């Protein structure tokens, strides 16, 4: 795939081509996962929605939308009927990518470069991260998005319950960002606005923590416990400050600092590494903003 030119840190940048698949596969070795045939699961013909759901592409209701909207082919032929049966040996593709089955669960972190959308579909001006992911990650789903212009950690898995736990508001999974600005607001003004909350388009946007990292480089650390669309950019826009670069460095206890990974590449991890214990959280330490005072 040819390299693309995108925007990041306020200047043109060359985006990486898709990493060599063998390197990415090696990064996931040791997890005990291997590809196998669908007939080993079902033993015979199966309805297409169940087939796609079992392959990790979402719930049966979600994959039904993929089918009826014309995104699925069987043996090269477009299918939109939900009663379509998949026979052993059939070739099923979603958005042109072969549907593959994996034994057990895979947990992968992806260092997303700017210029790619966290989406299952690609468009001319919005290429998908799946154009960069290796073959053994094509069936994985993601937990939470990063906007196209942002960089950093994206969590991928075929374990639906694990992904739901990350996104569930009750788990309060924090996300840490390093943000480069065109100018620094006053620290007190920024803290007051971000802790009290910024109202934008009827939504209350808050940060768990915000602080200046480097005045010369105009970098700020922001920690969120929620994930609304373009939240950090909208919050700084309320202070009339423009975000030049937004880099998500951690989700929960899972951090790119502990897994140095080049942009466009993946690494493996175990679920407990992301959830961890609050007292060992490298982001919040002993601080728990949801603990009720005695």
Backbone dihedral angles phi then psi of residue 228, each to the nearest 5 degrees: -95, 160
Euclidean distance between CA atoms 66 and 58, whole angstroms: 10
> Considering the domain boundaries, does residue 56 fall inside one?
yes
Quickly state the pLDDT bin for 246 (edges 50, 70, 90): very high
Per-residue pLDDT tens digits for 210-226: 999 999 999 999 999 98
Give the whole-angstrom CA distance, residue 174 versus residue 281. Answer: 10
Q: Among 248, 23, 59, which residue's Cα sits nearest to residue 151?
A: 248
**CATH label of the domain that carries residue 93:** 3.10.290.10
pTM (global) more than 0.85: no
Q: What is the C-alpha to C-alpha distance for residues 138 and 142, in angstroms, rounded to an integer?
A: 11
Q: Is residue 70 part of a domain?
A: yes
- 238 falls within a domain: no
65, 83, 90, 147: the active-site residue: 147
Residue 81 falls in which region: left (phi positive, over 0), alpha (psi -120 to 50) or beta? beta
- Segment 114-157, tens digit of pLDDT: 999 999 888 888 999 999 998 778 888 999 889 999 999 999 99
State the Cα torsion 271-104-266-212 to the nearest 10°: -20
Nearest partner of 282 among 240, 254, 261, judged by Cα: 254
Mean pLDDT of 81-91: 89
Whether residue 20 lies in the annotated active site: no
Q: Is residue 53 part of a domain?
A: yes
Residue 156 covered by a domain: no
Task: Give the chain's domain count.
Answer: 1
* First and final C-alpha spacing in the chain: 58
Q: Do the domain assignments include residue 248?
A: no
Range of the domain at 82: 35-102
Calpha distance 154→43 (Å, rounded): 34
Q: Quick check: is 155 in a domain?
A: no
> Is the residue at 201 inside a domain?
no
**Confidence at residue 99, expressed as pLDDT on a 0 to 100 scale:** 81
Report whether pLDDT(34) > 60.
Answer: no
């Amino acid at each position: 795939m040819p390299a693309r030119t995108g925007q990041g840190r306020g200047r043109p940048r060359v985006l990486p081509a898709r990493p060599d698949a063998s390197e990415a596969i090696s990064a996931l070795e040791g997890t005990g996962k291997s590809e196998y045939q669908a007939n080993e699961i079902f033993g015979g013909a199966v309805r297409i929605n169940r087939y796609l759901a079992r392959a990790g592409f979402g719930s049966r209701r979600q994959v039904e939308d993929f089918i009826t909207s014309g995104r699925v082919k069987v043996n090269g032929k477009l299918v939109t009927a939900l009663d379509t049966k998949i026979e052993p040996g059939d070739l099923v593709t979603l958005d042109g990518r072969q549907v593959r089955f994996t034994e057990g669960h895979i947990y992968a972190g992806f260092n997303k470069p700017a210029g790619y959308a966290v989406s299952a579909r690609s468009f001319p001006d919005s290429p998908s991260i799946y154009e960069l992911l290796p073959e053994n990650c094509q069936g994985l789903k993601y937990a939470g998005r990063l906007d196209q212009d942002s960089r950093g950690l994206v969590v991928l898995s075929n374990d639906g319950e694990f992904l739901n736990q990350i996104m569930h508001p009750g788990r309060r999974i924090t996300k840490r960002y390093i943000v480069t600005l065109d100018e620094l607001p006053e620290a007190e003004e920024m803290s007051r606005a971000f802790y009290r909350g910024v109202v934008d388009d009827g939504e209350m946007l808050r940060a768990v923590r915000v602080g200046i990292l480097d005045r010369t480089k105009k970098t700020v650390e922001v920690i969120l416990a929620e994930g609304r669309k373009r939240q950090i950019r909208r919050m700084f826009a309320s202070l009339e400050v423009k975000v030049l670069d937004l880099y998500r460095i951690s989700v929960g206890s899972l951090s790119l600092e502990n897994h140095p990974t080049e942009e466009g590449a993946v690494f493996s991890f175990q679920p407990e590494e992301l959830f961890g214990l609050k007292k060992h959280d490298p982001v919040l330490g002993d601080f728990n903003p949801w603990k009720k005072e005695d």
